[in-house]
Structure 1
Amino acid sequence: MSIDVAQHILDALTDVDMPRLKPERAPFEAANLAGIAVPVYRAGCVVVGSGAAGLRAAVELKRRGDDVMILSQSAWGGTSACSGSDKQTLHTANTADQGDNYKAMARAIRAGGAMDEDTAYVEAVGSGRMMASLQYLGLPLPQDPLGGTLRYQTDHDEVGRATSCGPRTSRLMVKVLAEEAIRLDVPFYNHTTAVQILTEGAQEARRVVGVVAIRAHDRTEANPLGIAVFASDVVVLAAGGPGELYRDSVYPNGCFGSLGIALEAGLELVNLTESQFGIGTRREGFPWNLSGTYVQAMPHIYSVDAEGREHHFLANYYRSTQELASNVFRKGYQWPFHSTRMLDFGSSLVDLAIYRETTAGRRVFMDFSRNPLPVTGDLPFDLGRLDDDVMAYLNNAGAGQTLPIDRLRHMNPLAIELYRRYKIDIATAPLEFAVNNQHMNGGIRVDTWGRSSLTGCYAVGEAAGTHGVTRPGGAALNAGQVFGTRAAEHISASGRARTAAAGGIAEIAEAGVRGILSVLKDDSPFNAKSVREDVQARMSDKAGLICDGENVREALSAARSLNADIRRSGITCGRAAEAARALQWRHMALASEAVLSALDIYISKGGGSRGARAICDRAGMALPMGRDGPLEEFRFREESVSDRQQQIVVRLNGETLEISTRPNRTFDETSRSFFERDWPAWLTGRIYDLGGR
């Protein structure tokens, strides 16, 4: 039996057309800054980024009567609009069965450690509201006949809090939120790259007063780079994560995030040691995560060497065909690499094996026309001879078809249709893939309202460092919606974004423009291409899922030297149209040093393997085993449980990155609200803590 889904339904969930933007509004005024005629735009709040989190913040602000505008490097071109997986997940409280316990959900979200307990509860208790509001806007989340939302299990999720519209879930979220923002007449400024945060004041009194951006639309003879100033007393950073940080990455091309400009503005960042790595197709073609039903269909995975010979390499790691196939299946809901899953012949041994093949120069493929080949000396693949959890899932799904492509077509025809849109027919040709960087769990340090360490500056979505070491699959989409709303509520309660900023910032803006011009030097030996190659090779080769203290130290030293050279010699852009990209690579070089600095401190103080990385160490007590014995090269340190109780903080002070730690904020699960006692705090706005930080 196969699921028969009409083509027009597949089309609607795969080819998601985005709305057209309205014409841009003219600048308020022009200013002569450093000899350049610079347009000045003004708003109550500037949202940097047009992904799902940024759109949510803008929509919620506009609904509350605030003056808000959106700056976008490329509308509908970021991670939210262009990334996904087999059935991209939105992680929310389970309402389909017996309901959910928000405190239990919060414990699951923060289970990996290094996450504030109150933040986890905020994400849990806010999840139902976020899902309902997205459904109200038209997000087609699947339901059963009685109105319950259909659910499934995802990574780091033992309860089944995941739901999905299919591979394009986050793009559909962007679509419905963008349509609402346009309906509410929120101004968009597209092809606008924020390159500097403007501030005034010193130390605790510092506050944001706007951003400097580069816009193709504003390039003139008197302003050849297209520099523009956006004056605002409130800025929401929502430009996503540092997707360009790694060469081996499943991010869409051109995703730089906000970490570099946040560091330059003196904001505190946390948990930069924490990322996610997992299998996906390479960004040179169509970057996409290969989680869920792609691997639950259990295709044959093999590598090809330079002479074109096939290698059944997984057979060197697993002891039986059953064990091999069952762990390929488990990559569906254990998609992120995790060091502990390399032990006891677990599912991350698949990631390690793929990593070793690609490091050796071999190309890795999955073939949906073949079942997994047998392990030498063992019986062939058989659907009746799999681990109990695998057989139970396949039986419940009715996925007893003979071949992987037929099992995939039955469980998720959209997964096949998606690749077809990019001229890749996985029904007839093998699919090349690798282990890639996928998500930054760290980012800008924020409180439970999304406030950063800089007054007036908020961070939401992947720009915010709220996730800790591990997170359930899809929790990031929920977090962006929850904190986009929370930030908007707080900003609106403060009254600071009610009208467009009116203060004069010419002196501050001129200093900012001069600083930008000082970085762009025609005679610099560095350009965007050379910095990109340097940064990406170093991060992928020395600070990926497998690393060690010596390599990280060497990488940090090289990263420091690169940044010192850029400070001294600048970076050239060749032509005006490349100025924004050159500055973004300057920011990415800085973000790279910050990540390596945090990782070096963590390792040097005895930090062990957790989350994204295995910290290899000859004295480590954890040793992965392969079919033929111990994999001594990958002996690794075990995690220190005490490290889960704190976060590593990074801040740029002058030219020096300062590293410190802070304990996780706690949440008292025994506390109980009482309506009459607590209602006044809501009525008077005391819940927003407007006087504190």
Structure 2
Amino acid sequence: MANIETHILEVLERLELDVLTTNTVVVGTGSAGFCAATRLVEFGQDDVVIVTDKTKAGTSRNAGSDKQTYYKLTLAGSEPDSVREMASTLFAGGAMDGDNALAEAALSARTFLHLCDIGVPFPRNEYGEFVGYKTDHDPRQRATSVGPYTSRSMVEALEKKAQEQGIPVISECRVVDLIVDDDKVIGLLVLRRDRDWDAANPPLLLIRCTNVVYATGGPAMLYANSVFPHGQWGASGAGYRAGVVGKNVTEWQFGLASLRPRWNVSGTYMQVVPRFISTEPDGSDPREFLLDAIPDRGRLASLIFLKGYQWPFDIRKARDGSSVIDLLVYRETQLRGRRVYLDFMYNIADEPFDPDQLEPEARTYLERAGALQNSPIERLIHMNRPAYDFYLEKGPRVDLATELLEVDVCAQHNNGGFAVDSWWRSNLEGFFPVGEAAGSHGVYRPGGSALNSGQVGATRAAEYIAKRRAQAPSEDSASFVNAARGPVGEALGLVNAAAVNAAEGVELTSLDLLQQLAELMSADAGPVRSATSIDQASVTIGQWLADLPRIVSADPDSRRLVDRLFLLRDALTTAFVYTSAMSDFVHKDAGSRGSVLYSDPAGAFPVEGDLDQVVSAADDSELFRFRLSGTDLDSTTQEVRLAGSGESPEVEISWRDVRPIPADDDFFENVWRRYRETGGVS
């Protein structure tokens, strides 16, 4: 197992730090992180340590929806399917590399069945077929689920496996920086969050390693309006500071979610057709604002119903489609400063429920489900009692039968991230981003494909490490110390500067600026963006990043403020990279795609025909003019790299053709020969 005996190493003059040595450090305790660690042991590499900021936090363990989906190859019924057909579905999302798509399809059955074998209770019929259903962007019925907490079931089973294997986990560790030498990762610097800051003996830990598997999740701290669970932050900034290339970072998923608690209001929550209420911030002036824009109540009810199927905001559905609901909610909250609630107690306009007013798809579904009761709450309890019970059990408790549920359009998932190849290797040797940290998705993706991608990427990275990078870290202490001097010195300098600022009465704390950053991103870089808003945000964030040592205070006696200081630097780094990428995209005049509306003064309003008053009557209507992106960018992908640092941060941006799906070469004798020679790892 890993050498978790620490020794003291003098990194700076008169400063000694603990050093832990291991072949591979896995950062993160979500389903991708635990998968990578357990797979490493299974493949013969048991010199592995897991570090994490908090073991029980993170998206895998704490996020979900009314029926959280896992996407895989069809494993039931008579409907035809194949690895390459699934790869083509993933690749069709646009801006996705074909070798990633093929790997995710090829290993989907293997990784899914591995989860089944370690105890995740995916449903199967009496003959052993794992039945499925159709999810968004899915031409088959590849989706499956174990209920609201599919990913929690996964991470709990994988954590149990890791415990059985005796893999050490070091919690309360905040990533500070990667230790890099000659374009290779040779270590990691982390802050021990559970220890007081002492300038003479700072709570920093150096990890000397051959490989880093980065399962830190997406940069969840970037948006104030977010459905990422509290305690999920991400640590992308450290990767960008080390020169790791990012890909498709402009591409997010946004959707309607409750704010307290944070939870996607998809599926049944929308299919039972609740009414939408907006109020002033103090709760006064309640209005059914959707009726102002869509007075046809049957049409409005049908669009709300469709949000269950079509939960993520999709710009293609913003014309005469269900995503107009997202835009109307966004206008109420972000532009008008009001609050929006779902009301499950009453129907639209407080009128009796009339299924005859619904469009055929909605009416047929509710009839087949036996869900024609008069009130939304009755329909919800009939169709999906656990969806109602969830809000009774999850804090803060909300009884949907008697209380309103506050919602907004929230960031839910980053489809971009660090660029990886078919073995989930980055451009930095030894650095393997997996899970949401990896930018393996395209602009669009089937619902639940992120859970599959995390398992596949973790498995591929672990197999490559076990067969190609099993060597111990270099014993050259001098080189390691030299590489560590810069990151350690910057960390000490940042805390010392913040401490001086605090002593001099600077009022802006690391917590304050984190909140300002998140609010700025939600206002200017969320689901509705303009060239002006993006450019201004990028300039502001770049200036904050450059001035950070001079503008923020943190009392070194406060563990929380010191921890948030490093988190703030990470968030500012990531936000600067992301807004720089967004600025580049919007100035390509490429139109709107995915889960984002890019304002275009020459474009059209989101809706036409009988819905033309949705935004055109508003004072802020010009913000919602847009035109759809063409397909010409589907075959390309944007890549970003942080080039400058300190007081002169710069982002290099380039575009390249996506890698195609590899050609079919399945002649058995050739494959068998290569496999004997390479063990399947090339």
Common fold: TM-score over 0.5: yes
Q: 1:416 to 1:532 in 2, by over 3 A?
A: same
Question: Any unmatched runs of 5+ in structure 2?
Answer: none
1:246 to 212, 217, 223: 223
Aligned partner of 2:272 in structure 1 is 297
Shift of 1:567: 5.8
* 2:613 alignment partner in structure 1: 628
Query: Within 5 Å, which residues of 2 pair with 1:135-214?
Result: 135-201=116-182, 206-214=183-191
Matched, 1:102 2:83: yes
Task: Say which SS state the counterpart of residue 470 (structure 1) adopts.
Answer: coil
Q: Point out the more displaced range, 140-149 or 428-437.
A: 140-149
- For 2:154 and 2:248, locate their aligned partners in 1 and report how far apart those are by CA, in whole Å: 27
CA-to-aligned-CA distance 1:449-482 (integer Å, 9 cap, x gap): 0000000110000000111111111111110011
Match of 1:39 in 2: 18
The residue aligned with 1:30 is: 8
Cα separation, 1, equivalents of 2:563 and 2:172: 10
Question: How much has 1:191 moved relative to structure 2?
Answer: 0.8
By how many angstroms is 1:388 displaced?
2.1
1:660 equivalent to 2:654? Answer yes
Q: How does 1:236-385 map to 2 (within 5 A)?
A: 236-282=213-259, 285-305=260-280, 306=282, 308-344=284-320, 346-359=321-334, 360-373=336-349, 381-385=353-357
Q: Offset at 1:554? A: 1.2
Deviation at 1:143, TM superposition (A): 2.3
Q: Which amino acid aligns with 1:588?
A: A
* Secondary structure of 2:454's aligned partner: helix
| Residue 92 (structure 1) aligned with residue 66 (structure 2) | no
Gap change, CA 1:311 and 1:219, over 3 Å in 2: closer
State the match for 2:407 in structure 1: 433
Residues 571, 153 of structure 1: CA spacing in aligned structure 2 closer, same or farther, 3 A cutoff? farther
* Matched residue, 1:463: 437
Query: Is the counterpart of residue 408 in structure 1 residue 377 in structure 2?
Result: no
Amino acid at match of 1:275: W
Residue identity matched to 1:291? S
Contact 2:7 2:19 in 1 (8 A): yes
Look up the SS of the partner of 1:523 in the other structure: helix
Map of 1:519 onto structure 2: 494
Q: Distance in 1 between matches of 2:529 and 2:127?
A: 50
Q: 2:588 aligns with which of 605, 615, 618?
A: 605
1:32-75 residue CA offsets vs partner (Å, 9 max, x unmatched):
33333311111110001110001110010011221111001100
Of 106-115 and 174-183, the range deviating more from structure 2: 106-115
Task: From the superposition, tell whether residues 515 and 37 of structure 1 become closer, same or farther in structure 2 (CA, over 3 Å).
Answer: same
After TM superposition, give the deviation of residue 333 of structure 1 in Å. Answer: 1.9
Change (3 A) 1:622 1:111: farther
Select which of 348, 363, 367 maps to 1:391. Answer: 363
CA contact (8 A) 2:4 2:21 kept: no
Q: Give the gaps of 5 or more residues in structure 1.
A: 1-21
Once residues 54 and 200 of structure 2 are traced to their aligned partners in structure 1, the CA distance between those partners, rounded to angstroms, is: 21
Show the counterpart of 1:11. Answer: none
Secondary structure at 1:32's aligned position in 2?
strand
Aligned-partner Cα distance in 1 for 2:596–2:556 = 38
Q: Please say if residues 337 and 348 of structure 1, whose CA atoms lie closer than 8 Å, have aligned partners that are also in contact.
A: yes
Aligned partner of 1:549 in structure 2 is: 531
- Flag the 1:679–1:33 CA change in 2: closer, same or farther, 3 A: same
Q: Does 1:472 align with 2:462?
A: no
On the 8 A contact 1:106/1:120 being kept in 2, the answer is yes
Task: Check if 1:228 corresponds to 2:193.
Answer: no
Q: Which residue of 1 aligns with 2:35?
A: 56
Determine the C-alpha separation between the residues in 2 that align with 1:256 and 1:503. 34
Secondary structure of 1:435's counterpart equals strand
Q: CA deviation at 1:193?
A: 1.3
Distance 2:581 2:681 in 1: 32
Distance 1:58 1:629 in 2: 50
Deviations 1:473-494 (A, max 9, x none): 1111110011110110111110
How far, CA to CA, are the matches of 1:571 and 1:662 in structure 2?
42
Q: Report how far residue 307 of structure 1 moved.
A: 5.9
CA distance in 2, matches of 1:231, 1:465: 26
Q: What SS class does the counterpart of residue 86 from structure 1 fall into?
A: coil
Distance 2:475 2:363 in 1: 65
Report the Cα distance in structure 2 between the residues aligned to 1:679 and 1:157, rounded to whole angstroms: 33
Structure 2 distance, partners of 1:120, 1:571, is 45
Shift of residue 169 of structure 1? 1.0
Q: Is residue 272–residue 441 contact of structure 1 (8 Å, CA) maintained in 2?
A: yes
Task: Give the partner amino acid of 1:451.
Answer: R
Give the counterpart letter for 1:62 in structure 2: V
Structure 2 residue identity aligned to 1:657: V
Distance 1:362 1:243 in 2: 24
- 2:634 corresponds to 1:644: yes
Q: 1:37 to 1:263 in 2, by over 3 A?
A: same
Aligned-residue Cα RMSD (Å) equals 2.2
Q: Counterpart of 2:135 in structure 1: which amino acid?
A: T
8 A Cα contact 1:140 1:165, kept in partner: yes
Q: How far, CA to CA, are the matches of 1:220 and 1:582 in structure 2?
A: 12
TM score, norm. by length of structure 1: 0.90
Give 2:579's aligned residue.
Answer: 596
Q: What amino acid sits opposite 1:674 in the alignment?
A: F
In structure 1, distance between residues paired with 2:248 and 2:208? 30
Q: Displacement, 1:686? A: 6.8
Deviation of residue 529 (structure 1)?
1.7
The Cα of 1:26 is off from its aligned counterpart by: 5.1
Q: CA deviation at 1:433?
A: 0.9
Which whole-Å CA distance do the structure 2 matches of 1:301 and 1:629 have between them?
A: 15
The residue identity in structure 2 corresponding to 1:497 is: A
Is the deviation greater in 316-325 or in 294-303?
316-325
Q: Distance in 1 between matches of 2:291 and 2:257?
A: 21
Is 1:76 matched with 2:56? Answer: yes
Aligned amino acid, residue 28 of structure 1 = T
Q: Percent identity?
A: 36
**Could you give the per-residue CA deviations for residues 427-462 of structure 1, whole angstroms, max 9, x where no partner exists?**
221211111111111100000100000001100000
Q: Deviations over 1:305-351 (max 9, x none)?
A: 3462321111123352221111111111211111121102x100110
Number of matched pairs: 654
For residues 558-615 of structure 1, what are the alpha-carbon distances to aligned partners after superposition, in whole Å with 9 as ceiling and x for unaligned? 1111111126667645435132321111110111111110111111111210112101
Cα gap change, 1:196/1:245 in structure 2, threshold over 3 Å: closer, same or farther? same
Residue 659 of structure 1 aligns with an amino acid whose one-letter code is I
How far 1:216 moved relative to its partner? 3.7
| CA shift in 2, pair 1:490/1:307, >3 Å | closer
User: Residue 529 of structure 1 corresponds to which residue in structure 2?
Assistant: 511
CA distance in 1 between counterparts of 2:197 and 2:491 reads 17
Question: Any idea what the Cα deviations from partners look like across 1:258-284, whole Å, max 9, x if unmatched?
Answer: 3200111000001111001101011xx
Provide the rounded CA distance (Å) in 1 between the counterparts of 2:661 and 2:605: 33
The 1-side partners of 2:673 and 2:453 are apart by 27
Contact 1:518 1:570 in 2 (8 A): no
- Cα displacement (A) at 1:147: 2.6
